[in-house]
Amino acid sequence: MFDLQHRTVLVTGGSKGIGRGIASVFVRAGADVAIAARSAGDIDACVAALDGLGPGKVLGVVADVSDRAACDAMAATVVDAFGGLDVLCANAGIFPDAPLATMTPEQLNEIFAVNVNGTFFSVQACLDALIASGSGRVILTSSITGPITGFPGWSHYGATKAAQLGFMRTAAIELAKHKVTVNAVLPGNIMSEGMVEMGEEYINGMARSIPMGALGEPEDIGYLAAFLASREAGYLTGQAIAVDGGQVLPESLEAVGG
């Protein structure tokens, strides 16, 4: 059951945080795993840490997902190295905050370029290989923010994460005939490098609002991604699944005893 050995996987934004957690789960499950990001130094450090944790190959690729040509080159490199691609985890994303009253057009364009265009471009670039796989999988990293919840300063971010789900529902229909599934993971608050930059006060406040009492670990997202990537999950498509320690459930802080 759930044998991921010899599955070939590409994780965008795989050098840090949630992407790195996803990649580490796939490596340990025996898959061949490529990670893509912009910083070559971070990629090299991540590849060095993951290499040898499993029997498969680990590959690093420098790519900016907001650039369609870079996504095409990324996909070609992975297909060349692994002989194909079964699973794309379109995870790369940014979450700078910007209050609505002062948000600039440049800030709006930047976040859409990475989180929305980056999702489209990565999937488009990998499409031929995913179809050729015969059991191709697209796993999007969306968020609870936007699809379910809101947070001051993140109206633009929430809009991009909800846009990914709009993309998913039609992509899932278009690709169903090729046996390619498209699903989304909605992380709650996960201890990534990006999260650490939010500061202790933010993190402690979040922890108080989570029924499980703590932020999640990057691998918590990886375990769901691994299931969605399996051949056994082939009939599950177009679904958005929250992994959030129950964060979206309470109606008030009292409900979590806070």
Single-letter code of the amino acid located at 167: F
Of 157, 202, 223, 235, the active-site residue reads 157
Which of residues 234 and 246 has its CB atom nearest to ligand NAP in the complex?
246
Single-letter code of the amino acid located at 178: H
Which of residues 140 and 175 has its CB atom nearest to ligand NAP in the complex?
140
Calpha distance 124→167 (Å, rounded): 12
Q: Using only C-alpha atoms, what is the Rg of the chain? A: 17
Beta-carbon-side half-sphere exposure of residue 95 (alpha carbons within 13 Å): 24
94 interacts with ligand NAP by CB under 6 A? yes
Q: Could you tell me which of 236, 247, 178 has the C-alpha nearest to residue 207?
A: 247
Which of residues 139 and 172 has its CB atom nearest to ligand NAP in the complex?
139
17 interacts with ligand NAP by CB under 6 A? yes
Stretch that binds ligand NAP, among 10-18, 147-155, 169-177, 249-257 (CB under 6 A): 10-18
Is 157 in the active site?
A: yes
192 interacts with ligand NAP by CB under 6 A? yes
Burial category of 16 from C-beta neighbours within 10 Å (exposed 0-12, middle 13-18, buried 19 and up): buried
Tokens of residue 258, six digits: 């806070």
Q: Which of 7, 8, 16, 32 binds ligand NAP (CB under 6 A)?
A: 16
Please report, as ranges, the residues that interact with ligand NAP according to CB under 6 A: 12-13, 15-19, 37-39, 42, 63-66, 91-95, 114, 118, 141, 143, 187, 189-190, 192-195
